[in-house]
Amino acid sequence: MQKINCSFCGLRDQSEFTYVREMAPVPMLDASTADWQRYVYDRDNPCGPHMEWWHHNHGCRQLLAIERDTRTHEVLNVSPARTSASKAAT
């Protein structure tokens, strides 16, 4: 079982978390249909380190920004999503 070090609860099993999606800027509410389609359906699918949003649904219920290596599934970094929102906007 993979372990994730939650910023609020400490080291926990991956089974407590739900994958949300890759980190990406959320389109404005009045964005075009094409922009929303890209946000909802298109994924980068990189090979290597990748930023993702995960929800700690069986713990503190916080949204976390997790850097994970897609080749090895190793969790490289975990931080609260609210402090990482500026990273997604760039």
Name the residue range of residue 55's domain.
3-89
CATH number of 77's domain = 3.30.2270.10
pLDDT of residue 84: 63
The pLDDT confidence band at residue 45, using thresholds 50, 70 and 90, is confident
Task: Note the pLDDT tens digit of each residue in 59-68.
Answer: 999 999 999 9
Burial tier of 7 (Cβ tally within 10 Å: 0-12, 13-18, 19+): middle
Domains held by the chain: number: 1
pLDDT of residue 44: 85
